[in-house]
């Protein structure tokens, strides 16, 4: 299917800064500024929520920032909830870059959403983000009373690198014996950190994922080549036993995404080990398209659909 015309227009306007001659800090700063401009916008028709509050998520090496979204349809708690980890290749992203995704996800699912701001690379290399994800999950399940969430009806969710953290968390909690997520929502997840250059898709460099940008993220977060195959950061390569008994999963994949095949492969491995799996593919969309709700109605619809899947799975709808 052809690339969505709205997305194509955005790609034509959005360019990465020139990194030549820059050190890691300078290039990362410029990339973050560029991502900031691309992912933040004011949407006057954003869903109305009952409350949005900030809080500290404790238990990690440093206290993490969190943002709790309570939709109008959440009802009196404790109720089902979503623990959300943002994407950005472990280098980009924060609570604000994914604020609109979380607002729309909360509204559609009728579930409270806790968005977690984990540590980023290159300042904090592997396994910092993965350690933060475990700490945030354990804190959230232990403080479900504070969050007004039911600890037995929690979904772990994320896009791209956040999808990586979500997939890892489900495996890691099973290895540790819990507490286990009840559902996993994986939005165009990054499930292997080895290579995407074998893919036959052609992109301009930009807001979306390309081979050079993939390498940039990988080298910023993973300093040792041997760590690229570590199941923590490449859950696709985890042993078969790590796929058994995991939470049901819903995947959102994109036709114009070099990670689509890996997402499908991960879904197939889950299904082969008895995990209920559903997949929704958006053929004309690219990696990261859910950050473009200010200009793309299909992006808004995709988040609504994904939220409703979670809401039904957790009994909120």
State how beta strands 249-256 and 49-57 pair.
unpaired
The neighbouring-strand residues paired with 82 are 113, 155
Q: Which of 210, 257, 282, 296 is catalytic?
A: 257
Which one-letter DSSP state was computed for residue 31? H
The encoded tokens of residue 176 equal 């540790």
- Residue 257 annotated among the catalytic residues of the structure: yes
Nearest to 190, CA basis, from 122, 258, 283? 258
The encoded tokens of residue 104 equal 């729309």
Give the C-alpha separation, 112 to 70, whole Å.
5
Question: What is the radius of gyration, based on Cα positions, of the chain?
Answer: 18
Q: Which of 86, 115, 287, 296 is catalytic?
A: 287
Q: Which of 107, 160, 210, 296 is catalytic?
A: 160
Q: At what angle do helices 24-39 and 211-221 cross, to 10 degrees?
A: 120
- Provide the annotated active-site residues: 160, 257, 287
């Amino acid at each position: 299917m052809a690339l969505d015309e709205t997305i194509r227009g955005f790609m034509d306007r959005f360019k990465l800064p020139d990194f030549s001659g820059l050190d890691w800090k300078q290039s990362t700063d410029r990339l973050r500024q560029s991502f900031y401009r691309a992912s933040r916008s004011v949407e006057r028709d954003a869903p109305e929520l009952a409350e949005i509050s900030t809080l500290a998520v404790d238990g990690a090496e440093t206290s993490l920032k969190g943002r709790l979204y309570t939709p109008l349809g959440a009802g009196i708690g404790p109720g089902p909830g979503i623990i959300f980890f943002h994407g950005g290749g472990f280098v980009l992203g924060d609570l604000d870059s994914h604020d609109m995704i979380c607002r729309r996800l909360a509204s559609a699912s009728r579930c409270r959403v806790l968005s977690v701001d984990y540590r980023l690379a290159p300042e904090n290399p592997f396994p910092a983000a993965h350690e933060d994800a475990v700490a945030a999950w354990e804190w959230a399940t232990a403080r479900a009373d504070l969050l007004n969430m039911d600890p037995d009806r929690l979904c772990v969710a994320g896009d791209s690198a956040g999808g990586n953290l979500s997939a890892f968390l489900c495996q890691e909690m099973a290895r540790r014996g819990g507490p286990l997520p009840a559902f996993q929502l994986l939005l165009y997840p990054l499930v292997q950190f080895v290579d995407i250059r074998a893919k036959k898709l052609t992109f301009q460099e930009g807001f979306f994922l390309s081979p050079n940008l993939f390498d940039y993220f990988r080298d910023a977060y993973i300093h040792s080549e041997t760590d690229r195959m570590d199941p923590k950061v490449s859950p696709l390569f985890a042993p078969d036993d790590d796929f058994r008994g995991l939470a049901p999963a819903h995947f959102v994949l994109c036709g114009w995404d070099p990670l689509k095949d890996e997402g499908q492969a991960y879904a197939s491995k889950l299904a082969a080990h008895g995990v209920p799996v559903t997949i929704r593919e958006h053929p004309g969309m690219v990696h990261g398209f859910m950050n473009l709700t200010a200009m793309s109605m299909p992006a808004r619809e995709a988040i609504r659909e994904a939220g409703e899947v979670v809401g039904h799975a957790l009994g909120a709808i």
